[in-house]
Amino acid sequence: MQAEEGMERIARILGKNANASIVFSTQKRLQIAELTIKARMQTIAAEGKADTLESALRQAIEHAENQARRHRDRRMASKRLPKEERCMRRLPWSGPKPRRPAGGWRRGG
């Protein structure tokens, strides 16, 4: 139940085309949840370690959700501007044309 809700939140961020796998393991008294999500161009891997499987899963989902948000925000920030806005950024240079020296542009030496 908890895994489904967490994956729905991540799916809202990344899109519905994401595939996920969760691996549970144990080392002595430590429970480990490894979460791997493959979206279009992004692979998100998160790991949670805790005393119980539920809290380890909660940690992994939270970490994966933060990674997905960062990826989405980076993608939104790097979107290209429309042609009109791009042209308005740089004003044309309207100064005089540089004159060519009598001896040419070569350096003396």
Burial of residue 94 (CB within 10 Å: 0-12, 13-18, 19+) is: exposed
* Residue 71 DSSP one-character state: H
* Predicted structure pTM score: 0.66
pLDDT confidence of residue 24: 93
Q: What is the mean pLDDT of the chain?
A: 81
Task: Kindly report the CATH class assigned to 2-73.
Answer: alpha beta
Q: Greater confidence, 60 or 40? A: 60
- Whether pLDDT at 32 is above 80: yes
- Whether pLDDT at 86 is above 60: no
- Alpha-carbon gap, residue 51 to 53, rounded angstroms: 7
pLDDT tens-digit readout, 44-64:
999 999 999 999 999 999 999
Reported as a pLDDT band with limits 50, 70 and 90, residue 106 is: low
At a CB cut-off of 8 Å and minimum separation 6, what does 44 contact?
A: 35, 36, 37, 38, 64, 67, 68, 71
- Alpha-carbon gap, residue 27 to 65, rounded angstroms: 25
Query: Under DSSP, is residue 6 helix (H, G, I), strand (E, B) or coil?
Result: helix
- β 19-27/43-50 pair status: unpaired
